[in-house]
Amino acid sequence: LLPVLHRMEEKGIRIDPVIFGELSGELARDISAIERKVAAAAGTGFNINSPKQLAFLLFEKLGLPPVKKTKTGYSTDVEVLERLKDLHEIPSLVLEYRTLAKIRSTYVDVLPGMVDPRDGRIHTTLHQTQAATGRLSSSDPNLQNIPIRTELGRRIRSGFVAEKGNLFVGADYSQVELRLLAHLSGDAELIRRFRQGDDIHSATAAAVFGVKPSAVTPELRRRAKVINFGILYGMSPFGLSRELGIGGKEAKAYIDQYFDRYPGVREYIEGLKETARKNGYVLTIMGRRRFLKDIDSRNKVLREAAERMAINTPIQGSAADLIKMAMIRVDREFRDAGMRARLILQVHDELIVEAPEREAGASERILKEAMEGAARLTVPLTVSVSRGKNWGEIH
């Protein structure tokens, strides 16, 4: 894999500085507008970047209920503001301000200055040993944390452009971690659902909430999606209750109903924790080990954190194994075929290639075959492919 990563770093990715300049100006105006709204709502001017001044405004002047205390006073972190945003408009405005300010300072204003003047491209650094699960990470700049599902994130991605005559080709695994859960757990119902091509979130919603599949609403599907992925990360009833805004008993009932429908998953999870306690480590699908030194800790917090790692690592780590195997195959096939197409980015479950327009079709085929054929599972691996002139167009 190292030669593949080296070639990706060396190739880099082009950005359009004009797009980033325009976006920076828009963000500056939006940020100033939010500052004015906050000042008007507060009835006074104050430093929105000062946690101390914000805490005084929220908890002393406005009388909002403090959520948690730190050594220096009442906290105004994201969690606190999320819990207060329905009580007054200022917390939601501050959250929006922080989001825009961070994106502007982390990406929009910084990326143009990171362009290599020799080729007009940005060259990120890829790491395969920093994340404990084995996932690749990216730095200088980090291109894996750009928001995906927001309009602002899409606009930032639109600033990453293919060279003239080229296209970006993207390939994205569909629900790879849940498919790995079905394979590794051997749960018959989960396997059946994926083999039939069912919408797993809708199927889980029908089972957990006791409704017919035809009666599953978008909101019920969203809740089921939180449950499906929460199970992957060892989420407790308390964690699920916080995530869905429901009571602890209701959250526990949902988790119990999930395991009633997918009993093989419960057995698999309990087996993972037992294996971790016995061996001190868990394995990914390719045999990589993650050691868990706190799995027998007397400290409940440390022990439960290690148990969550024991549950998630074989899933997330195996997904990392699969996409790395696919990257090696894609890189080899491009070079063996004498193609000019090259891998340029990997963002967790997604691979992005830059290719001449005439090679776009072949690139899509190679990506799809390599990713879907990365391993033989009891359920199909499915990959969606797309192409476009910029990164924003392939989502």
Q: Which domains are present in the chain?
A: 16-120 (1.20.1060.10), 179-313 (1.10.150.20)
- What is the C-alpha separation between 97 and 85, in angstroms, rounded? 13
Residues ≥6 apart with Cβ < 8 Å to 389: 161, 162, 167, 168
In this prediction, residue 123 carries a pLDDT of 97
Please identify which residue in the block is written with the tokens 């971790």.
276
Please identify which residue in the block is written with the tokens 């994205």.
172
Task: Tell me the whole-structure pTM to 2 decimals.
Answer: 0.88
CA quadruple 103, 106, 111, 116: dihedral, nearest 10: -160
- Contact (Cβ atoms closer than 8 angstroms) between residue 178 and residue 201: no
Nearest to 190 by CA among 323, 315, 284: 315
- Contact (Cβ atoms closer than 8 angstroms) between residue 122 and residue 345: no
**Which stretches of 85-142 are DSSP H helices?**
89-103
In this prediction, residue 130 carries a pLDDT of 86
In this prediction, residue 149 carries a pLDDT of 79
**Which stretches of the chain are DSSP H helices?**
2-11, 17-42, 51-55, 78-84, 89-103, 151-158, 176-185, 188-196, 200-209, 218-232, 237-244, 248-261, 263-279, 300-336, 360-372
Which tokens hold the place of 278? 């016995």
Specify the length of the chain in residues: 395
In this prediction, residue 295 carries a pLDDT of 95
pLDDT < 50 positions in the chain:
none
In this prediction, residue 72 carries a pLDDT of 78
In this prediction, residue 98 carries a pLDDT of 93
Beta-bridge partners for 342: 354
**Which stretches of 124-211 are DSSP H helices?**
151-158, 176-185, 188-196, 200-209
One-letter identity of residue 223: R
Cα 306 to its chain centre, rounded Å, is: 21
- Contact (Cβ atoms closer than 8 angstroms) between residue 292 and residue 282: yes
Residues ≥6 apart with Cβ < 8 Å to 215: 206
In this prediction, residue 219 carries a pLDDT of 94
- Contact (Cβ atoms closer than 8 angstroms) between residue 115 and residue 122: yes
The SS3 of residue 12 is: coil
One-letter identity of residue 56: F
- What is the C-alpha separation between 187 and 266, in angstroms, rounded? 9
Cα 326 to its chain centre, rounded Å, is: 19
Sign of CA dihedral 280, 283, 289, 290: negative
Beta-bridge partners for 389: none
One-letter identity of residue 277: R
Distance (Å) of CA 229 to CA 98, 149, 193, 200, 292: 27, 17, 16, 11, 22
In this prediction, residue 68 carries a pLDDT of 83
